[in-house]
Structure 1
Amino acid sequence: MTRPALTDRPSDAADPPRRASPRPAPSARRRRFRGLATITLFLLPGLVLFVLLVLAPIAVAAYTSLFKWNGLGGLPDNWIGLDNYTRMFADEVFLGDLRRGALLIVLSLVIQLPLALAIAMLLNQKMRGRAFYRLLFFAPYVLSEVITGVLFSMILSPEAGLANQILGAIGLESLQSSWLAEPDTVMMSLFLVMIWKYFGFHMILYLAGRQSIPKELGEAASIDGAGPWKQFRYVTLPLLGPTIRISVFLSIIGAIQLFDLVWVLTSGGPIHSSETMAVTMFQFGFKRSQIGYGSAISVVMFLISLVFALGYQRFVMRRDTQGAITTMGDQR
């Protein structure tokens, strides 16, 4: 009788189940590629529109500005180089556009923005009907520039205009004027319309910035003995710095590119006394069919806006942008 062979484990013991080997994790390169593909997929529609509607027109304008061309007869072929630019900076109308644009910028910074800030601080106080007043001051910004221009064309009409009628009713006939038809009054009249139209937008910006400031800071300053003016000077105003810088930027860019309101009100007249760069560009490019010269004006206007925007962001808004980037980095 033979004895069964000894083994390390019983022959009838079941083999332990085998675990499926884990799938290898995708490599870092593959993950990076997938992330880049996703970003590209989402950015591609906007990028295509940006190229077609922004970069391509800029390139076409820069190209046509080097030709004498009326926009007809196919592609431009009368190459004149930089003659359009030389003509531009020797043109008194264009130089006047620069002076008038600078005047509108100065008036906006000195009058419009402080007025908007003062009304925003007033409407931040507890008062009856402040929601109605906020709506009332912001409502003009909702109107289109065309509607605003037509409205004030009737108000400032020299004969049947509401402005002259009110002055006559209160005995100030000596102040009646042809507001939009005289070179001495047209720019101030235009600026008053700009204030009525745009200061509500800046007011809402300042109001939103003011409401984002914690109330505890004002209460602490009050406990330390600071009055309302010192609280505004040393607490509110510094904390409103980012909002004010954005408001100044938008105001200056808007003054540089101002067109539709001027065109509806005065069409640049009388005798070019209210023209802006955009109006002059439209006059030559579309009304007089001097596409090359109009393109040169548009290129210069674009370069002025670009240089200002880059310089302003680099030197004025530097702390604001760095703070935003740092905050985004901390949240990732």
Structure 2
Amino acid sequence: MFMRAWKPWLYLLPALVIYLIVIFVPTLNTLYLSFFKWNGVAPDKTFVGLHNYTNLFLHDTVFGTALKNNLLWVAGSLLFVIGFGLLLALLLNAKLKGRIVFRGVFYFPYVLSGVIVATMWAWMYNPTQGFVNKVLESVGLESWAQAWLADPRTALGAVFIAALWHGIGQPMVLFLAGLQTIPADPYEAAIIDGAKRYQTFWHITLPLLRETFIIVFATTFIAAMKVYDIIYAMTAGGPAESTQVLSSWMYYQTFKFANIGSGSAISMILVLVSMVIIIPYVIFTTRRSHV
């Protein structure tokens, strides 16, 4: 009887040990370091309490920019990455000729690394020989051509478009998988009752995709919060720190400026913001799905 009660925990033990070693313990250590002033080399650390946190919010203007950019990036990802991913899934779920090929074409960018995507799009945004400016010139919009990644007003948006092209494949595949599990019976009954296409989408497709939306929202939100590689590779946080996000500014504070305390504080803020949004969302949506 005793072994039967503990048997499930024995199966979970290896994963739990890995989780504690790889995630939980390093997180606690990062939280501990965030209360100290330390350059990562000196044998002694200076305890400063909450000074690293208050300094970020009250005196570090770049942190404010990074936090704002992160929130904008999250909003854009939830709106456009999920929106276009769902649209492509709906289109490619229909009985179109060559839809298997198109699925591969739209999913292909997602398998590329962020650095490769950044290199490709940096060349496309090249102010003199880049594809974007050449297209604008060819259609008579020469006045719109500019150095997209060198202008603080356009740099973040330009990088986001590259990230959108890169990341749209994952939600598309997840939505496709969800759509293919929906039976045809509800649609046939709705058509018989005279329902229009937008009504079947709103009252049948979206409710039956609730479980898929939970996964897509969570993965898209987390990816948007920890975005780093494509921004660092395309702009390195510039120009004039206009494309800094929390992950990139954490890297600069920790490894460029040897300010381990501030870098650790930024990472804990990143974790806290993610937990505050993701955990209530998952609890709320899973409860609704079981009602």
The two structures have a TM-score, normalised by structure 1, of 0.83
Mapped pair 1:143 → 2:112: yes
How many angstroms apart in 2 are the aligned matches of 1:62 and 1:184?
35
Q: Report the equivalent of 1:250.
A: 219
Q: In the TM superposition, what whole-angstrom CA distance separates every residue of 1:27-66 from its partner, at most 9, and x where no partner exists?
A: xxxx223551x44443333222211111111111111111
Q: Which moved more, 1:265-274 or 1:104-113?
A: 104-113
How many angstroms apart in 1 are the aligned matches of 2:172 and 2:3?
46
Q: Report the equivalent of 2:54.
A: 86
Q: Is the 8 A contact 2:214 2:282 kept in 1?
A: no
Q: Which moved more, 1:228-237 or 1:172-181?
A: 228-237
The correspondence of residues 67-146 of structure 1 with structure 2, limited to 5 A, is: 67-74=36-43, 76-90=44-58, 91-146=60-115
Larger Rg: 1
Q: Residue 204 of structure 1: CA displacement?
A: 1.1
Q: Report the equivalent of 1:274.
A: 243
Could you list the runs of 5+ residues in structure 1 that have no partner in the other structure?
Answer: 1-30, 324-332
The two structures have a TM-score, normalised by structure 2, of 0.94
Q: Which moved more, 1:149-158 or 1:159-168?
A: 159-168
Q: Residue 245 of structure 1: CA displacement?
A: 3.1
Structure with more of its chain in helix, by fraction: 2
How many angstroms apart in 2 are the aligned matches of 1:44 and 1:304?
29
Q: Residue 112 of structure 1: CA displacement?
A: 2.6
How many angstroms apart in 1 are the aligned matches of 2:45 and 2:66?
29
Q: Residue 244 of structure 1: CA displacement?
A: 2.1
Query: Residue 286 of structure 2: which of 317, 320, 330 is its match?
Result: 317
Q: Is the 8 A contact 2:187 2:200 kept in 1?
A: yes
Q: Residue 166 of structure 1: CA displacement?
A: 2.1
The correspondence of residues 18-29 of structure 1 with structure 2, limited to 5 A, is: none
SS in 2 for 1:317: helix
How many angstroms apart in 1 are the aligned matches of 2:185 and 2:4?
47
Query: Residue 205 of structure 2: which of 221, 225, 236 is its match?
Result: 236
Q: Report the equivalent of 1:206.
A: 175
Letter in 1 for 2:227: L
Could you list the runs of 5+ residues in structure 2 that have no partner in the other structure?
Answer: none
The number of equivalent residue pairs is: 290
Q: Report the equivalent of 2:190.
A: 221
Letter in 2 for 1:67: F
Mapped pair 1:156 → 2:142: no
How many angstroms apart in 2 are the aligned matches of 1:300 and 1:245?
23
Mapped pair 1:61 → 2:37: no
SS in 1 for 2:47: coil
SS in 1 for 2:148: coil
How many angstroms apart in 1 are the aligned matches of 2:9 and 2:34?
34
Q: Residue 313 of structure 1: CA displacement?
A: 1.8
Q: Residue 238 of structure 1: CA displacement?
A: 1.8
Mapped pair 1:48 → 2:17: yes
Q: Report the equivalent of 1:259.
A: 228
The higher-RCO structure (CA 8 Å, 6+ apart) is: 2
CA RMSD of aligned residues (A): 1.6
How many angstroms apart in 1 are the aligned matches of 2:244 and 2:286?
31
How many angstroms apart in 1 are the aligned matches of 2:3 and 2:29?
35
Q: Report the equivalent of 1:33.
A: 3
SS in 2 for 1:316: helix
Aligned-pair identity (%): 38
Q: Residue 106 of structure 1: CA displacement?
A: 1.9
